[in-house]
């Protein structure tokens, strides 16, 4: 099983790779469309801003490569947001693999944005990606923007408002939190992703 992590920049990419290697998968970075297209599994990690990340994918010639993938694809954190139609962050068009617009989380005097830290997951649909994940299990989030709850949402979380925490449409999947920093629950979701039929 070879996992290719799209190397479009981002501080978390190394820790995502190690998380897969701990599960026994071969994981490597690549920005080569041919290598990405030939992988068993593809991960789009991301930390930073949506506009800059989309500009980087465009610069590397990877937009159409990612859109055309047939094998299981997992977007992590910003990488999940990039799967949607667009984002308020930089008012940018994203990959358009999932319908919806990513919007800024609304803070308040008592509610910190960005949302940082552990928060509970609430599964809303049965799916193999969530095998072993129960209501109230926690994951580690770091984000200031969030995707809407749609028919593609498998689990939600709430920080002032409820947002999509895990999504899936066919072989296109995403986790708003950082599985590589989410202990047993994060490892379980990555393991489930490795088991998704190609």
Give domain limits for the chain: 2-195
Out of 77, 89, 159, 191, the active site residue is 77
Could you confirm whether 178 is annotated as catalytic?
Answer: yes
Q: Could you please state the CATH topology (level 3) that the domain comprising 2-195 is classified under.
A: Rossmann fold (3.40.50)
Tens digit of pLDDT for each residue in 103-147?
999 988 889 999 999 999 999 999 999 999 999 999 999 999 999
- The pLDDT, as a whole number, for residue 103 is 98
Q: What does the DSSP 8-state code read for residue 68? A: T
43-74 pLDDT per residue, tens:
999 878 999 999 999 999 999 999 999 999 99
Sheet holding 84-87, edge to edge: 92-93, 84-87, 98-104, 145-146
CA distance 51 to 48: 9
Residue 17 has pLDDT above 60, yes or no: yes
Q: Provide the token pair at 60.
A: 């590397």
Catalytic residue of the set 115, 159, 180, 191: 180
Choose, from 65, 143, 178, 191, the residue flagged as catalytic.
Answer: 178
CA distance 195 to 198: 9
Q: How far apart are CA 63 and CA 189, in angstroms?
A: 25
**Is 180 a catalytic site residue?**
yes
| CB-CB contact of 186 with 174 (8 Å) | no
Percent of the chain whose predicted confidence (pLDDT) is above 70: 98
C-alpha 134/C-alpha 147 separation (Å) is 21
- Tell me what the pLDDT averaged over the chain comes to: 94
Confidence of residue 99 (pLDDT cuts 50, 70, 90): very high
Q: What is the pLDDT of residue 112?
A: 92
């Amino acid at each position: 099983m070879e996992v290719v992590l799209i190397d479009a920049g981002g501080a978390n990419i190394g820790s995502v790779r190690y998380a897969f290697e701990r599960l026994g998968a071969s994981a490597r970075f690549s920005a080569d469309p041919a290598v990405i297209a030939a992988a068993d599994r593809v991960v789009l990690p991301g930390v930073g801003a949506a506009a800059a990340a989309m500009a980087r994918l465009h610069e590397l010639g990877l937009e159409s490569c990612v859109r055309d993938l047939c094998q299981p694809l997992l977007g992590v954190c910003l990488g999940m947001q990039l799967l949607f139609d667009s984002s308020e962050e930089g008012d940018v068009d994203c990959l358009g693999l999932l319908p919806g617009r990513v919007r800024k989380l609304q803070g308040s005097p008592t509610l910190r944005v960005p949302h940082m830290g552990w928060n509970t997951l609430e599964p809303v649909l049965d799916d193999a990606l969530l095998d072993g994940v129960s209501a109230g299990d926690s994951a580690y989030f770091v984000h200031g923007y969030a995707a809407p709850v749609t028919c593609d949402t498998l689990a939600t979380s709430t920080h002032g408002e409820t947002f999509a925490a895990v999504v899936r449409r066919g072989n296109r999947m995403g986790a708003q939190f950082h599985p590589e920093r989410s202990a047993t629950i994060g490892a379980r979701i990555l393991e489930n992703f490795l088991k998704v039929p190609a």
